[in-house]
Structure formats: C-alpha cells, structure tokens
Amino acid sequence: MDIIKVRVARPRDRKSLTDFQLQMALETEGQELDSRMVSQGVKSVLDDPQKATYFVAELEGVKGIVGCLMITDEWSDWRNGWVWWIQSLYVLPEYRNRGIFTALFEHVWMIVDSTSDVKGIRLYVDKRNIRAREVYEAIGMTGEHYTTYELMKE
C-alpha cells in the first residue's frame, strides 16, 4: 500500500504546480495556457494565502509532488458560512488509481468537517470529463443541483 502525505504547498512547489496546471488544461480541455501567466498565478497564491490554498500530495519513495488541488472560499449567506471550492485538481498520470485524489480529498474534508464555519465542498467539472464525474460521484458528491455558467475575458 502506498504511503501518501498531504501538506500545504510551499514556494518550492511552484514549478510542479505550474506544470500540473499546464498539463491539466491540455488534457481536459485541449487548451495550451501561457506558462508565464500560470506561473505568476501560482506564485500569487503561494505569496498570498488569502487568495487560495494549494494542498499537495507526496508519495513515499517518489521525489517531488504527485498531485495537487487548490481551495478557494465562497461565502454562503444561506448557510452563514464558507463553502470551499476544489479547483486546479491534478494527479500525474503515472500515479492515478493509487489513492492520490482520495488522500487529498479526505485531508480537505477532515478540515471542513472539524471547522464549524466551513459548511461544505463544491467543485466544477467539464461535462465531457466522464471519468472525473464518476470519481466525484463515487465519493458521494452530487451534481444534481446546479449548472455553472461563465463569462470570461480573453
């Protein structure tokens, strides 16, 4: 059984986090992102924890991180508390199906479950990403209530 350690990202994880985001965009949406822009975006989070928090997974015997996710906050007036959004989730292909996502999710859920002002977790997923949707449903998440819309500047 693999020993997985989850921790908050550190500045030295910046290159890996940047690479993960570039790979994820290409893999899931066929988009080639500007690496300098993504690197600056990752640095911005690492420099200012008010923006978001990256959690990373390390696998015993493997150098470097093998997966990550980022948490952002949304205030819910309906719940009088925070909802955490999982974003920027990525696991290196060669380490998938080894419990990396589960370890990341369980670590975050443990924090949510023990914090009275955090009421739950949400995430969005590309509708075409059937594999990811199946994984989220397997851990008890549901996509039955909301559809996400967006309007983005280029």
Cα 89 → chain centroid: 3
Query: How do residues 123-154 score in pLDDT, each as one tens digit?
Result: 888 788 888 888 888 888 887 777 777 777 87
pLDDT number for residue 68 = 98
Residue entry with tokens 């290196």: 92
What single-letter DSSP state applies at residue 11? G
- Per-residue pLDDT of 36-84, as tens digits, reads 999 999 999 999 999 999 999 999 999 999 999 999 999 999 999 999 9
Proportion of the chain in helix, strand, coil states, percent, rounded to 5: 40, 25, 35
Q: How many residues are there in the chain?
A: 154
Return the pLDDT at 147.
75
- Structural domains of the chain, ranges and CATH numbers in brackets: 4-138 (3.40.630.30)
Query: φ, ψ for residue 113 (rounded to 5)?
Result: -65, -25
Question: What is the per-residue pLDDT for 137?
Answer: 85
Contacts of 37 (CB under 8 A, 6+ apart): none
Q: What's residue 25's pLDDT?
A: 93
Nearest Cα to Cα of residue 90 among 3, 18, 33: 18
Name all contacts of 36-42 with Cβ < 8 Å and 24+ positions apart: 39/14, 39/15, 42/14, 42/17, 42/18
Contacts of 132 (CB under 8 A, 6+ apart): 28, 125, 126
pTM of the model: 0.90
Check residue 102 and give its pLDDT.
Answer: 94
Report the pLDDT value the prediction gives residue 132, as an integer from 0 to 100: 81
